[in-house]
Amino acid sequence: MIVKDKNDFYANRYMRHNKVTGSFTLYSVHLPNGENVRFFVDAGIKQGEDNIGFYNAFVPFNTEKISFGILTHAHMDHIGMLPVLAHQGLNCPVFTSYSTDDLMGIALNDTVTIRDKDLGRPIASEDDMERALDLIIGTSYKKQVKPHKNIRIVFYSNGHLVGAAVVFIVITYPGREPITILHTGDYKDKNVFFNVETPPKEVRELNISNIVCESTYGGVDSTDPMFKKCLKNNTVEALNNGMTVIYPTFAQGRHQEALYNIKMWKDKGFIPEDTAIVVDGKSSQEYNMMYRYGDLGIKKIMKIYFSIKMSGWNAQKENLFLPEIVKIIVDFLTDFNIIISKSWIDGKLMKYFTDISLGILAEASEADSIKSQNIFRRFK
């Protein structure tokens, strides 16, 4: 409970999940006049755990009583439940930054195209996604928004991702000390693609009642230049030894940073200019188009990093376990020096290559199995 006067002015906070993914915070504010105002900050799905389908398929509260929502950025573990909320009757404005609003259509598409293994279906339908998108209202950084007469919110720039925001929430009532809440979202203080503005001094010096702070990398110095140096050295060494390099880029933003690094290494002569790249995933390719041509606040000089020559392939549309396409897939992927793919992160493609390299796919011909063993050694 966030207390200012426990008798008649307070806010209850419910964290639906206490792990890295599935960020979903619901607030219930009690005002002295007897009014209750409910709102949420982020509505993310859980990822990377077993038996999570039914968690992602519904929310255990009445969505029709929610007054408004707030989204900090367009990653699935912060927005993926929005179509589920819409399916359950959510019908209120959901505020976010303009750039996040622009990216939501691509981001939410995963909720209707990827089958959940526990449910045996996607967690939402296309109609649910469209209803969710209709609720979203984009706003500018540093602009005050009043979703309720006693509540104001302001978004500030956050370097985690294009469109990401730190959200400042102020709950007021005449004659009472305000309740102030700061949600950092997944926070980073810089980004190569756009300028991250520090919140103004008057905000930094405010007496904030509560801070909800992301701390996934709280114990890691991600600014250490050794991270990028090791990545570059490993990539260069692998290419020089005729290996195929796989970049598992789980989320939007990471993928674009990988392209930035590759272009930099090409320009500086660390890797050949004709290094062949394949990008897996329709959404990844759509994000690249948005980064290059969209109005996302990206520095003009940085848009060149999305003109890099690459090919596209959508692994999720392929049935990787049909024996007759084993040779086609193997031949296709190994024509490339670098594979950038979010599909690799869940292990499906890696398991596929592991299985055929060990001869587990009995239908594969002996020649394909031998070739696969050689390819897998290149992938390792």
Quick check: is 22 in a domain? yes
Quick check: is 219 in a domain? no
Q: 106: closest CA among 285, 312, 311?
A: 285
Tokens 């587990």, located at residue: 360
For residue 7, the model assigns a pLDDT of 72
Helix (H/G/I), strand (E/B), else coil: 249: coil
CATH number, position 88? 3.60.15.10
Q: Does residue 193 share a domain with residue 98?
A: yes
For residue 323, the model assigns a pLDDT of 47
Give the residue from 165, 180, 212 where a domain finishes: 212
Q: How far apart are CA 210 and CA 221, in angstroms?
A: 25
Of all helices (H) and strands (E), which one includes residue 162?
Answer: none
Q: How far apart are CA 191 and CA 74, in angstroms?
A: 16
Quick check: is 58 in a domain? yes
Quick check: is 186 in a domain? yes
Q: How far apart are CA 196 and CA 193, in angstroms?
A: 10
Is 244 in contact with 341 (CB distance < 8 Å)?
no
What length does the chain have? 380
Is 100 in contact with 78 (CB distance < 8 Å)?
no
Q: Does residue 276 share a domain with residue 334?
A: yes
Quick check: is 179 in a domain? yes
The letter for the amino acid at 75 is: H
Q: Does residue 185 share a domain with residue 231?
A: no
Tens of pLDDT along 347-379? 555 555 555 444 444 443 444 434 434 433 333
Domains: count for the chain: 2
The letter for the amino acid at 70 is: I
Q: 71: closest CA among 63, 62, 80?
A: 80
Rg (CA), the chain: 23
For residue 192, the model assigns a pLDDT of 83
Q: How far apart are CA 232 and CA 229, in angstroms?
A: 5
The letter for the amino acid at 154 is: V
Quick check: is 218 in a domain? no
Low-confidence ranges of the chain (pLDDT < 50): 317-326, 344-346, 356-380
Q: Does residue 242 share a domain with residue 122?
A: no
Residue 136 token pair: 């979203």
Q: Does residue 234 share a domain with residue 101?
A: no
Give the residue from 212, 234, 262 where a domain finishes: 212
Q: Find residue 24's DSSP bridge partners.
A: 43
Give the residue from 212, 239, 260 where a domain finishes: 212
Which residues form the domain of 50?
2-212
For residue 356, the model assigns a pLDDT of 47
Q: Does residue 139 share a domain with residue 24?
A: yes
Quick check: is 217 in a domain? no
Residue 50 token pair: 């077993």
